A and B are shown apart, each in its own frame.
Chain A
Amino acid sequence: MKLITAVIKPHRLDEVKDALQAFGVHGLTITEASGYGRQRGHTEVYRGAEYTVDLVPKIRIEVLVEDADAEELTDVIVKAARTGKIGDGKVWSIPVDDAVRVRTGERGPDAL
């Protein structure tokens, strides 16, 4: 199994969600996050005093998938999240040892 984590622009959430659904993903976890990449944040000016706000609001999506789907699903997310402008985010995946469905106790791929 793989855990795919995507950090995306908040306004692309709907597209990514729809794409995941179309792909057949059953569940996902979404967290509001903040951070910055190469573009850093933005500047605010209050009475002439400039403040750099490093952290920009982001959405973090986490999906557990079977190994076979991981590659393709990553592409699906990237395609749905892309605007072509700076700050579009990142997607990565890491191996997962085990997963349990809390209600039934099923383990491994069955729990997905």
Chain B
Amino acid sequence: MPPGILTLAADKATLSPANTGFMLICSALVMVMTPGLAFFYGGMVRVKSVLNMLMMSFISLGIVTILWVLYGFGLAFGTDQGGFIGWDGHFAGLSGIGLTELWGATTIPVYVFAVFQLMFAIITPALISGALADRVKFTAWALFIALWVTVVYFPVAHWVWGEGGWLFELKVIDFAGGTAVHINAGAAALGVLLVVGKRIGFKKDPMRPHSLPLVMLGAGLLWFGWFGFNAGSWLGNDDGIGAVAFVNTQVATAAAMLGWLAYEKIRHGSFTTLGAASGAVAGLVAITPACGAVSPLGAIAVGVIAGVLCAMAVNLKYKFGYDDSLDVIGVHLVGGVAGSLLVGLFATGGVQSKAKGLFYGGGFEQLGRQAIGVFSVLLYSLVVSYVLAKAIDLVMGFRIGEDEEVAGIDQAAHAETAYDFTGAGGGTVGRLGEALTKKVNA
């Protein structure tokens, strides 16, 4: 998301009410992705742990927001310090920023940019939680989020999007977060998984999704919010590039959903609801880095490839025996890698950047840059996330007790259950249930 390309060099940027309004709406759209993700994940787990799944995403809205205000924005987008991290005193606490102070050479206030980027920082750790369903201590998870955004997300966001960040300077194209968000989260999921291990009963017990309607609702909210994610990442729409990103987002997502469903029909014989939702998310992930670089036809290719590839990838966990519960690696890591590398093939050179992909006569140069971006973020996130998780595990234990896991983490961690099957109707179950449940402080 390059700042500074929006206005002609000769013009002095002035605050654009249109772009400012547009970006505030985009920020709100990106915000809704996190509750959307919560429902997407929540529907996929069993009845006994749906609340915990929702909370693992929701808590990110709390923790990351506060850290972002205190120091996160400064670390990610402050003045570059050696290509690795940023810092700017007057970003600390977001308190030294002028009301009409503009972000770089753009036409939007710093505050707007800060809040837009905040929403990215919130959803990224929430993405990781899908790999850890049903089995991690909520306090350990909350601590992990706080540490992870500090030492992984903020620096990586700076590498990729911060002026002076080393991947930014290398001209790696990551329009809205293929590397910084999806590969980052997917690799982290793998790192934490290696510490946390598999759920009790993995590969033996049925762990069917308890509510596919919730999954669909969540996927729908993600798709909706993703327009803010992608179309907003140009920080305005003076030159139509934000609109191209919007169109490509829609096109690739549709193509990926169809790709996933077709694969599934051929391989397993039916078009599943979960497949449609997963395919859509895979497409959204893959087009994220590419939506400012490819044409709508290129977006179809990116979508179909990602849809089929991710559908194939989710089976790997059974082969390798790691319990990536809700396929964060299969969808976000694989989808993110696919999308980021496909930029190197399908970039037209006529949109966000002049860099052309292999299929548009650009040779291997951009593909090589993309590969450096992909693998450096992957490796960094994987290693640091593993170390963080290991440290938390040693200090306080990352997992809940075996009996709590079997009985359901909702009751153990939150003293709540998602659904009450006792009250309504007053049938046998209802009467029995009421007789067994008494109000304590009546």
Contact = CB atoms under 8 A, between A and B. Distances in A.
Interface in B321-340: 327, 330
A44 B314 CA distance: 16
A22 interface: no
Contact of B318 (A44, A45, A49, A51): A49
B209 interface: yes
Contacts of B206: 51
Residues of A contacting B: mostly: strand
Interface stretch (B79-87, B268-276, B375-383): B268-276
Contacts of B209: 46
B327 A46 contact: no
Interface in B246-302: 264, 267-270, 272, 274-275, 278
Contacts of A45: 264, 268-270, 272
Interface string A27-69: 0000000000000000011111111000000000000000000
A48 B261 CA distance: 11
Given A45-B270, A46-B208, A49-B315, 16 more contacts: A44-B208, A45-B264, A45-B269, A45-B272, A46-B272, A46-B274, A47-B272, A47-B274, A47-B275, A47-B311, A47-B327, A48-B264, A48-B267, A48-B311, A48-B314, A50-B268
B23 to A, nearest CB: 35
A44 to B, nearest CB: 7
A44 B210 CA distance: 13
25 contacts: A44-B208, A45-B264, A45-B268, A45-B272, A46-B208, A46-B209, A46-B272, A46-B274, A47-B272, A47-B274, A47-B275, A47-B278, A47-B311, A47-B314, A47-B327, A47-B330, A48-B264, A48-B267, A48-B268, A48-B314, A48-B315, A49-B315, A49-B318, A50-B268, A51-B206
A48 B330 CA distance: 12
Contacts, number: 30
B411 to A, nearest CB: 25
B86 to A, nearest CB: 39
A48 B275 CA distance: 9
A51 B264 CA distance: 15
Contacts of B268: 45, 48, 50
Interface string B305-319: 000000100110010
B318 to A, nearest CB: 7
Contacts of A44: 208
Contacts of B275: 47
Contacts of B272: 45-47
A57 to B, nearest CB: 16
A48 B308 CA distance: 12
B352 to A, nearest CB: 33
Nearest to B331: A47
B279 to A, nearest CB: 10
A21 B272 CA distance: 42
Nearest to A52: B206
Nearest to B205: A51
A36 to B, nearest CB: 15
A50 B274 CA distance: 13
A69 B311 CA distance: 59
Nearest to A48: B315
A47 B274 CA distance: 7
Nearest to A53: B206
A51 B327 contact: no
Nearest to B206: A51
A45 B208 CA distance: 9
Contacts of A51: 206, 208
A44 B274 CA distance: 11
Interface string B418-441: 000000000000000000000000
